[in-house]
Structure 1
């Protein structure tokens, strides 16, 4: 097994003049060849050597995702140093904490983070700092080490060497630096290759932060298997750029698909009767075919396949065009996606494959894939990974993808037992080996009656109501569950207008008794889908959108529940008076 660096070098030799990256500059897509990418890596490698960076040193990067980020990462690894990626969405205190803890000898930054050097971080010791340079210029304008010298450096790097120190999101405390080896990276990309098989000739579209483990592993996959990668110029123009690039695959977090799904459903509501009939027909036929495929029926109804192609084309042609028109699949992770949305995208000819992994596992441990999918699950283990459940249901992981421990002074082997890593997630395994994530062990609600309940499971059921945008379930140490409810104001406003409810501003609806009764009836209906002890007895409607306010989300878009509980402590207590 080779390191990602040697794989990159092999691709440079195979595809020298082929496109490695696409990046948008001045409104136009520019191509960077594998040969040009190699020149850039060698140039940054020389820069690092001249700065005195050597094997085992830590080097930080804080910048938006781009080819420059990806190639700077490879250059850091080329000299044997350890990359420390920092989320651009982190608050100043988190950025400074990571810089203090990792003590990088050098920091690469984009211009908006120049404040790190202006004296604000007085107790942060940086050996040097460098603004990330543009890779889209022919010739690149920098001196490079020779190909032979670069190869000598890279051949001295072993699979057991640490490649990167990735800091966890810190949902329950200070971030911890997970030490990831070259073996972890190569094992992970090989597992994904076996699952999906994309390579040279396939085009990917990347917009996730490269400081996020999901974005990072796709970068390493790209370097290892020679596909072409286009980087988003801004998160605000993702769908616009996908129509231009027409990618074969992309990796997303659920929020992207939720927005597309919600927008599509709204368009259907105002479409003509024939369009609605075609879409309903396509969904029925598609669901029937999916069920046949799921149960391995070898001889489907003779009309199902042609009927599915026809109705899917007519019903979902425009939806597929939103993603460029030739998308083979979408990988989704980071948080659960509602089962009905996964099913919908499959029916529409846009297969979504959910997976499960952590920073400590260098991305996916399990993943759904073509030919092996179970809606509502996060798939089966990828090649080389093993999973088992502890007595309390906690998911435990073993395999070459696993990190080797945390950067001191954190406890190096925290969470590791005889080669198994305790993930902190509660799971269930189906008879056919698919993993379902129930919730976080630390977030389990233990009622005063001794029941252990996953709030995530109940929240997902509540969010399936068209009038509920989000829900936070509470009840730890209490006799029953309650919930804080955030309304879907667009649909609630439509309901109010149709039912003659007068209001001057949308906030008036939050306090309207008829809206309260609407939500109560919705919750009562959803309670039928959970066990009796999981039913939500009482609730309060709130007007704070946690997904838009600072402090409530980690850099990887996970909710800090303790922050919500702290903010609404009085309101929560009133639900039990």
Structure 2
């Protein structure tokens, strides 16, 4: 196995940074006709034995007695540290138990739980025992659970609660299984699942566990992740140990500031059923820092304050809500004017950082004043120790990115897919351009097709979709490039910009192609707006469906001198509609007239996972929304598409 120390990582990254100005996009004469291509420099090549368990073993060899994980106590705000050695020993005991339960190498073990320490423990125990952990979102329906259980032929399910376990049993009972099929075991974390498993491992020799671990290679299946998808049935994305370990190894070298320092602290609160959180789980454990878990964002501010993370992983909606909350609370009086002045100073200051001259003396003085009045309070919300925010899952508006950098917490926006174990490209502390998702992580290669689609090659690209060779074949070009389905571009420095999803492009009745993402992203920055769906396919103009943010509504109404209103009434209130229309005008200023939104409909209920309009990663299920609100869309245009509208 190839490994490096923190010092050599920093040295390699410095070398990569120093050569940045020399690297370039493939010269035009060497590019495929009509395509743009960029290849990041390869920093490290792993060998076939660099598996996920080997990364944990390396961490124990480097720092057995140092903290690896912090566990929050049930009462109070204290966190108890778990050393690398203690975690490794517990992993070994649980791995022995899984083998003792009769699970053969390669067997699938489903995990259905919120984010918590036990999930990470089970993940590493399964990998150590040569098993394949399969995540199930804890919000999944019985039908979705049954699909995953059937497709993976899971032997064991570890659920979080008694209720979740009963849901799994009901889903399993609905399946038609052949008589010879081995019975499915369902355990619950809240009723002693780990004790049951470890008891089964009594008498299993450590040598048997070691043999399972040693038999793994980078091509061994590490997990099967079912894409939540915005349309259609989920696909089982098969990811190998090498998909994880190659990406982790190079990511540490590419951006050692994040997890290679002993003061690195990551608090996971996004679902571990999502592949990006799973990647960060392995990334943090293979570095030098500490990781903590919280099950949700209910007490996020107090959790951040007590854990003191050095970096955060968020989706843009979290950053939008922090900004919108501060804006709405400030109101329209003197406090509101101060906040909006400070926000403008932050944006101006950040933009000035990208100019040759940098911020002027006057702008620096304004920023210092704004820091005392506003920025310090906002920084305190993220735990007063955060150096970086990593944002992914959806585009972040450039203005918000400038705002956060200007107040002192740079946002490193990235881009990734389930099929690539998460990050494909990411801005780093040294290589960053706001408005892009950064350069590709080495050793990924990115190419833009003639149609503008982002194509990929590299060791983190998945092995295929389980039991679905047709979908696997359709996901690749004839010459082996993975089709992301995303539209984007590459600049001359190799930075990637995402412009939308190919399948979401709207073609108006006049033949104009409109990508809805830029308009939707701009509108979601308004404090009243929760979700937006831009519509107009085969219609004479572009329109939008908008939902209101029920959490922000009372604060906004109060700050604007209005009495409390339910969402159903606020959706038609003249002042609310006037504010939304001003937001639309602002969004329209950045697109052509043919692409601009001419009309809006404010819906009386928000999109949620429960009503099937949001995925577990908080993306809008566009197809479901268009179908659910077909009548509202037709009303905008005076009838169905093609009916003379």
TM value normalised by structure 2: 0.81
Identify the residue that residue 237 of structure 1 maps to in structure 2: 299
- The answer as to 2:84 corresponding to 1:24 is no
Change (3 A) 1:119 1:561: closer
In 1, distance between residues paired with 2:361 and 2:111?
56
Match of 2:422 among 354, 363, 376: 363
Identify the residue that residue 187 of structure 2 maps to in structure 1: 130
Match of 1:179 among 231, 235, 238: 238
- The answer as to 2:467 corresponding to 1:416 is no
Query: How do 1:59-208 residues align onto structure 2 when only pairs under 5 Å count?
Result: 59-111=109-161, 112-116=163-167, 118-124=169-175, 126-132=183-189, 143=202, 148-197=207-256, 198-199=259-260, 200-208=262-270
3-state SS of 2:637 partner: coil
Unaligned runs of 5+ in 1: none
Whether the 8 Å CA contact 1:312–1:347 is kept in 2: the answer is no
How far off its partner does 1:238 sit? Answer: 1.3
Q: Deviations over 1:1-33 (max 9, x none)?
A: 222211101212332222221122322422222
Change (3 A) 1:40 1:541: same
Whether the 8 Å CA contact 2:327–2:340 is kept in 1: the answer is no
Change (3 A) 1:52 1:346: same
How far off its partner does 1:272 sit? Answer: 5.7
Whether the 8 Å CA contact 1:396–1:422 is kept in 2: the answer is yes
Match of 1:294 among 336, 343, 354: 354
Identify the residue that residue 460 of structure 1 maps to in structure 2: 521
Query: How do 1:477-556 residues align onto structure 2 when only pairs under 5 Å count?
Result: 477-487=538-548, 507-512=568-573, 516=577, 519-520=580-581, 522-547=583-608, 549-556=610-617
Identify the residue that residue 26 of structure 2 maps to in structure 1: none
How far off its partner does 1:365 sit? Answer: 0.2
Change (3 A) 1:301 1:219: same
3-state SS of 1:121 partner: helix
3-state SS of 1:575 partner: helix
Identify the residue that residue 50 of structure 1 maps to in structure 2: 100
How far off its partner does 1:186 sit? Answer: 0.8
Change (3 A) 1:490 1:246: closer
- The answer as to 2:268 corresponding to 1:217 is no
In 1, distance between residues paired with 2:322 and 2:432?
22
Change (3 A) 1:285 1:234: closer
Identify the residue that residue 321 of structure 1 maps to in structure 2: 380
Stretch of structure 1 that moved more, 299-308 or 392-401: 299-308
In 2, distance between residues paired with 1:438 and 1:333?
14
Match of 1:12 among 60, 67, 77: 60
TM value normalised by structure 1: 0.90
Stretch of structure 1 that moved more, 31-40 or 190-199: 190-199
Match of 2:457 among 377, 398, 421: 398
In 2, distance between residues paired with 1:248 and 1:238?
15
In 2, distance between residues paired with 1:156 and 1:497?
63
Whether the 8 Å CA contact 1:176–1:410 is kept in 2: the answer is no
Superposed CA RMSD:
3.1
Whether the 8 Å CA contact 2:346–2:402 is kept in 1: the answer is no
Whether the 8 Å CA contact 2:114–2:296 is kept in 1: the answer is no
How far off its partner does 1:105 sit? Answer: 2.0
Q: Deviations over 1:290-342 (max 9, x none)?
A: 33432454x76567668756753553222212222111111111112222221
In 2, distance between residues paired with 1:379 and 1:514?
39
Q: Deviations over 1:40-87 (max 9, x none)?
A: 211111112122222222221111112211111111111222221111
In 2, distance between residues paired with 1:350 and 1:38?
34
In 2, distance between residues paired with 1:430 and 1:74?
39
Change (3 A) 1:201 1:480: same
3-state SS of 2:69 partner: strand
3-state SS of 1:553 partner: coil
Whether the 8 Å CA contact 1:191–1:384 is kept in 2: the answer is yes
In 1, distance between residues paired with 2:565 and 2:184?
58
How far off its partner does 1:148 sit? Answer: 4.9
In 2, distance between residues paired with 1:203 and 1:495?
35
Stretch of structure 1 that moved more, 463-472 or 389-398: 463-472
Whether the 8 Å CA contact 1:188–1:363 is kept in 2: the answer is no
Runs of 4+ in 1 over 6 A off after TM superposition: 133-137, 302-307, 489-504
Stretch of structure 1 that moved more, 339-348 or 498-507: 498-507
In 2, distance between residues paired with 1:478 and 1:425?
23
In 2, distance between residues paired with 1:228 and 1:3?
20
Stretch of structure 1 that moved more, 49-58 or 128-137: 128-137
Whether the 8 Å CA contact 2:71–2:81 is kept in 1: the answer is yes
3-state SS of 2:109 partner: strand
In 2, distance between residues paired with 1:252 and 1:497?
29
3-state SS of 1:413 partner: helix
Whether the 8 Å CA contact 1:195–1:370 is kept in 2: the answer is no
How far off its partner does 1:552 sit? Answer: 0.7
In 1, distance between residues paired with 2:174 and 2:567?
47
Match of 1:36 among 70, 75, 86: 86
In 2, distance between residues paired with 1:535 and 1:500?
31
In 1, distance between residues paired with 2:64 and 2:551?
51
In 2, distance between residues paired with 1:303 and 1:522?
30
Unaligned runs of 5+ in 2: 1-45, 178-182, 639-645
In 2, distance between residues paired with 1:94 and 1:252?
26
Identify the residue that residue 431 of structure 1 maps to in structure 2: 492
Whether the 8 Å CA contact 2:387–2:409 is kept in 1: the answer is yes
3-state SS of 1:431 partner: coil
Identify the residue that residue 434 of structure 2 maps to in structure 1: 375
Whether the 8 Å CA contact 2:567–2:604 is kept in 1: the answer is no
Query: Number of residue pairs matched?
Result: 572
Q: Deviations over 1:334-391 (max 9, x none)?
A: 1122222211111111111111010001000011111222222211101111111111
3-state SS of 2:305 partner: helix
3-state SS of 1:355 partner: strand
Stretch of structure 1 that moved more, 456-465 or 287-296: 287-296
